[in-house]
Amino acid sequence: MGATVILVDINEEGMKETLSRFDKQNAGHSYYVVNLMDSKEVESLVEDVVCLDGLVNNVGISNTRPLHLIREEDFNLVVGLNTKAPMVLTNLLYKKKKFNNGASIVFTSSLAGLYTFTPANGLYSLSKSALTSYAKSCAVEFAVRGIRSNCVNPSMVNTHLKDSLSFSEDEYKKDVEKYPLKRYAEPEEVANAIVFLLSDASSYITGHTLLVDGGRSLK
Strand partners, 105: 55, 149
Residue type for position 71: R
Q: What is the pLDDT of residue 34?
A: 98
Domains for the chain: give ranges and CATH numbers.
Answer: 53-218 (3.40.50.720)
Confidence of residue 115 (pLDDT cuts 50, 70, 90): confident
Whole-angstrom distance, CA of residue 184 vs CA of residue 169: 14
Q: What is the pLDDT of residue 165?
A: 63
Is the per-residue pLDDT at 103 higher than 80? yes
What are the pLDDT digits (tens) for 16-73? Answer: 999 998 877 667 899 999 999 999 999 999 999 999 999 999 998 988 889 899 999 9
Q: What is the pLDDT of residue 213?
A: 95
* Other residues' Cβ atoms within 10 Å of the Cβ of residue 39: 14
Q: In terms of DSSP H, where are the helices of the chain?
A: 12-20, 39-48, 72-79, 85-95, 122-142, 160-163, 169-176, 187-198
CB 52 within 8 A of CB 94: no
Active site residue 172: no
What are the pLDDT digits (tens) for 127-146? Answer: 999 999 999 999 999 999 99
CB 135 within 8 A of CB 151: yes
Whole-angstrom distance, CA of residue 48 vs CA of residue 51: 10
Listed as own residue / partner, the contacts of 196-205 with beta carbons closer than 8 Å and 24 or more positions apart are 197/104, 197/106, 197/148, 197/150, 197/152, 198/53, 198/54, 198/56, 198/104, 198/106, 199/1, 199/104, 202/104, 202/148, 202/150, 203/102, 203/148, 205/148, 205/150
Catalytic residue among 94, 124, 179, 184: 124
Confidence of residue 164 (pLDDT cuts 50, 70, 90): low
Q: What is the pLDDT of residue 22?
A: 86
Q: Between these two residues, 83 and 119, which has the higher pLDDT value?
A: 83
Average pLDDT over residues 65-92: 96
What are the pLDDT digits (tens) for 169-203? Answer: 788 888 899 989 999 999 999 999 999 999 999 99
The four Cα atoms 191, 208, 144, 105 give a dihedral, to 10 degrees, of: -20
